[in-house]
Amino acid sequence: MNSGSAPPSPSRHQRPRPRWVQDVRRLDHAVYAAIAQTPTPLMDRAMSLLSPAADYGRLSLASAAVLSAAGGPGGRRAALGGLASLGLSATVVNAVVRPLGRRRRPDPSALEVPFARQVRVPTSRSFPSGHSAGAFAFATGVGNTMPRAGSLLRSVAALVAYSRVHTGVHYPVDVLAGALLGTTLAQVATHRLNRYGTLAVPGR
């Protein structure tokens, strides 16, 4: 009998990924590496401040407060739509999608992300980006009531999403998926609120 143990036969969970998945993964890592290796000293400071500023939806909460205080009834409805969208996004991302995705966070130091731009790496799973999902959900929820404010907030959301890659805590696919998921969930949330007349404009 051969003293060496035979390699285990491939299980269902060990089968190679489809080629298109491998291609996307390689491209995802290549874009992450390209951003990490591109010197951007001026951006590094800005992105390292913006990224943690968006923790726990703080930027969205601050925006909701401004809309409620200065935007009149329309601003309060927009803030409500944005916060409902943000809440739904956080629930779905953290309770449903991340446990299924199980993607590990990148290691910024090992992948040569400059130290000057690094921020604290969360212990949660990497896919999808909760910051991106929340920022786009809030912006979309607001925009369904106040389109101009929504456009501005989408620009902020795009910067927040990019900052997560620039600081090394997410891969590009994570933030793209988060943006798409947040936008979609915001449509669901605001549709439900409109169905019950919560965001209805008086007199219409």
pLDDT at position 3: 43
Residue 52 has pLDDT above 80, yes or no: yes
Question: Residues 122, 170, 18, CA angle at the centre, nearest 5°?
Answer: 125
> Rounded mean pLDDT of 174-185?
97
What band does 197 get if pLDDT is binned at 50, 70 and 90?
low
Question: Residues 39, 176, 158, CA angle at the centre, nearest 5°?
Answer: 65
Q: What is the pLDDT of residues 82-107, one digit of tens each?
A: 999 999 999 999 999 999 988 999 99
Question: Residues 88, 92, 95, CA angle at the centre, nearest 5°?
Answer: 130
| Least confident segment among 6-15, 53-62, 88-97, 131-140 | 6-15
Measured distance between the N- and C-terminal CA atoms of the chain, rounded to whole angstroms: 84
Residue 191 has pLDDT above 70, yes or no: yes
Q: Are 160 and 96 in contact (CB under 8 A)?
A: no
Residue 7 has pLDDT above 70, yes or no: no
CA torsion sign for 37, 113, 45, 140 is: positive
Q: Whole-prediction pTM value?
A: 0.85
**Interhelix angle 130-143/72-92, nearest 10 degrees:** 150
Indicate the length of the chain as a whole number: 204
Residue 196 has pLDDT above 80, yes or no: no
Q: What is the pLDDT of residues 123-138, one digit of tens each?
A: 889 999 999 999 999 9
